[in-house]
Amino acid sequence: MEKKITEFLEKAKQELATCNALKPLNDLRVKFLGKQGELTAFLRSMKDVPNEDKPKIGQLINKARQEVEEKINELQRKLEEKVLEEKLSRQKVDITEPSKVPEKGEIHPLHKVFDKLIDCCVEMGFTVVTGPEIEYDYYNFEALNVPKDHPARDMQDTFFISDNILMRSQTSSVQVHAMETMKPPFRIVSPGRTYRADSDATHSPVFHQFEGLVVDENISMIDLKSMLTNLLSMLFGENTKVRFRPSYFPFTEPSVEVDATCPSCGGKGCKLCKGTGFMELLGAGMVNPKVLEMSGIDSKKYTGFAFGPGVDRLAMVVNKIPDLRMMFENDIKFLEQLK
Ligand code: DAH
């Protein structure tokens, strides 16, 4: 027995001396010290040792266990250190490298224009309201004096969902909701998405409009002109000149097309304004009395004016973007450069 223990100890030391990784070291620990291990086998065979030899053999086994345990623990520490060192030498930290700055979010250029329009109008006493994007024909056309067979429908290549339900082609539909639900006097603006079957560099099937409506007693063309002149100079600066040209919309009478000094060249004439120095920005007019009456407003007592710029066009002008679609491609590098 004594010899066997000494031999075991020798063999264990030799095996540990050649062990150079943590996984095989753990296998050796199980092999030498585990429940089914060799030292436990010695303990089990103690019963066959004559009584007078038991203390001596017992001591021997304990010493062997202690020695093997110490060797294994020491080796484990060394191997763990080695692993850590290897890991650290692989992961070199270059403290001179610039750190990553977290990316900052930005408001989309289109929404910046919306925000500006809203700010200016709220300052002038307007209330912001919204309306549905899926709309009845009645609100989008009929109640705006555009009956079923009216030629003005052709200009608004409308997406119909059924005979009388459509994707709104203009935010003017919100005028009707406002007139139905609000009592004059009121002044509202309504930002939102609009839809038409149209797609090229200056048209997108989804686009954006900003509708305005004022209804009160004694509202005249003077109010329309002064309010819009004010709005455009708030948007583009005090020196902005505004031009009103006669136009036609079924829901306004008289109707105007409103131009402002080209924000790109300041009126000198450039490619963007085709040399005219002016940029066509919105449609407007005095609300057609028929439209007021259809929504239950007494047109003898009340008059009103309405206006509706295309917001995508404003954003294109402000940012000098040649193709409207670039704004919706979600190219962060491009969007970051815009105002
Ligand atoms: N809804 C018209 C369009 O989409 C724009 C417009 C013109 C709105 C005149 C108005 C207005 O409120 O008075 O072409």
If residue 292 lies in a helix (H) or strand (E), which one and from where to where?
helix 289-294
pLDDT computed for residue 101 by the predictor: 86
d(CA 188, CA 132): 16
pTM of the predicted model, to two decimals? 0.72
pLDDT computed for residue 308 by the predictor: 98
pLDDT computed for residue 48 by the predictor: 87
Q: Is the CB of 285 under 6 A from ligand 1?
A: yes
Q: How far is the CA of 124 from the centre of ligand 1 (A)?
A: 20
Which CATH superfamily is 109-336 part of?
A: Bira Bifunctional Protein; Domain 2 (3.30.930.10)
Q: Is the CB of 172 under 6 A from ligand 1?
A: yes
Residue-level pLDDT, tens digit, the chain, 339 residues: 888 888 988 999 999 999 999 999 999 999 998 888 888 888 888 888 888 988 988 888 989 899 999 999 999 999 999 999 998 888 888 889 888 888 888 899 999 999 999 999 999 999 999 999 999 999 999 999 999 999 999 889 999 999 999 999 999 999 999 999 999 999 999 999 999 999 888 889 999 999 999 999 999 999 999 999 999 999 999 999 999 999 999 999 999 999 999 987 889 998 878 899 999 999 999 999 999 999 999 999 999 999 999 999 899 888 888 888 888 898 888 888 886
Radius of gyration of the chain measured on its C-alpha atoms: 42
pLDDT computed for residue 189 by the predictor: 98
- Say how many residues make up the chain: 339
Which sequence spans correspond to the domains of the chain? 2-90, 109-336
Q: Is the CB of 211 under 6 A from ligand 1?
A: yes
d(CA 211, CA 308): 5
Residue minimizing CA distance to atom 3 of ligand 1: 170
Residue to mutate, 169, 249, 255, ligand 1, most ligand atoms under 8 Å from C-beta: 249
Cβ pair 190, 129 in contact under 8 A: yes
d(CA 158, CA 305): 25
pLDDT computed for residue 309 by the predictor: 97
pLDDT computed for residue 273 by the predictor: 86
Q: At what angle do helices 109-123 and 311-319 cross, to 10 degrees?
A: 110
Q: Is the CB of 190 under 6 A from ligand 1?
A: no
Residue 263 Ramachandran class (φ > 0 left, ψ -120 to 50 alpha, else beta): alpha
- Closest ligand 1 atom to Cα of 308: 8
Residue to mutate, 141, 170, 314, ligand 1, most ligand atoms under 8 Å from C-beta: 170
Beta strands in 77-197 (DSSP E): 127-128, 134-136, 165-167, 186-195
Q: For residue 290, give the DSSP letter.
A: H
Q: Is the CB of 312 under 6 A from ligand 1?
A: no
Of the candidates 175, 91, 96, 100, which has an alpha carbon nearest to the alpha carbon of residue 131?
175
Structure tokens at 128: 């912001």
pLDDT computed for residue 43 by the predictor: 85
pLDDT computed for residue 322 by the predictor: 82
Of the candidates 239, 231, 228, 285, which has an alpha carbon nearest to the alpha carbon of residue 262?
239
Q: How far is the CA of 188 from the centre of ligand 1 (A)?
A: 14
Q: Is the CB of 192 under 6 A from ligand 1?
A: no
Q: How far is the CA of 326 from the centre of ligand 1 (A)?
A: 25
169-172, long-range: CB < 8 A, 24+ apart: 169/140, 169/194, 169/195, 169/196, 170/140, 170/194, 170/209, 170/211, 170/308, 171/131, 171/209, 171/210, 171/211, 171/308, 172/140, 172/144, 172/211, 172/251, 172/306, 172/308
Q: Is the CB of 306 under 6 A from ligand 1?
A: yes
